[in-house]
Amino acid sequence: MASTTTLLQDILPGPGFPQSINITRTTAIHADEAAAKLLASCEGSPAIGIAYHISKRGKVDFVCLATCSSACLIKFSKPGQISTKGMFASLLASNGKHGQLSEKSNATTHQTILVGFQMARIAVQVNHVTKQAVRGVDLTRLFTSDARDSPADIIHKRLFSAVDSWKVAQLWIGEDDSVSRDLPLQAWLAACIGLRHKDKLASSHLINTDHLHFLVSF
């Protein structure tokens, strides 16, 4: 069963950004339904933001995908609960198609691109829990080969110069009880940057778990 809530955000104030985000929360068994609903909210943006959470036991327990208006927060109780041919797997592989849900036979389709901060880490962790290929653009390296910039730095330089960096940093250091807020906002911020710089995404290198031999240090 899925539940839908509205999350108010105060990270990016002003008329240029939505002040609320629609959140669909569900389990891995229903991930394809949530992913299909998310794809319908893309509104012409290729970018799908992604974030994950590790429990106190050291296991990935939540994965979140987001557009600039919506997010789906997926709960994982054990690895390998995702269909290889489903919509969720397609979005993880940067292979979702805009318009494929349309009833119009002549609808134009556009391919989605997964985006996230520190994509190599995201890809390895999400691949482990979903058992699906993960392919996406690392926003940390989208603008430079120097990956020292934090998410707050990237948002300040590339999205909103007046951002409160501390509010952004807190999204990555929150406790388990703030996952339902922090994770959607992480993925949403990634999607917003992806939309702002969508022309650059098309020519960017994709981190690909097919080419990662789990050499990422955690």
pTM of the model: 0.91
Least confident of 2-6, 139-143, 146-150: 146-150
Residue 150 lies in a domain: yes
Q: Answer yes or no: are the C-beta atoms of 190 and 116 closer than 8 Å.
A: yes
Q: What is the CATH number of the domain that holds 204?
A: 3.30.420.10
Q: Which two tokens stand for residue 188?
A: 């949403």
Domain limits for position 68: 3-208
Range 112-123 average pLDDT: 96
Q: Note whether residue 174 is domain-resident.
A: yes
How many CB atoms sit inside 10 A of residue 10's CB? 9
Q: Are 64 and 50 in contact (CB under 8 A)?
A: yes
Residue 204 inside a domain? The answer is: yes
Q: How many domains does the chain have?
A: 1
Task: Give 207's strand partners.
Answer: 136
180 within a domain of the structure (yes/no): yes
Model confidence over 7-17: pLDDT tens digits?
A: 999 999 988 89
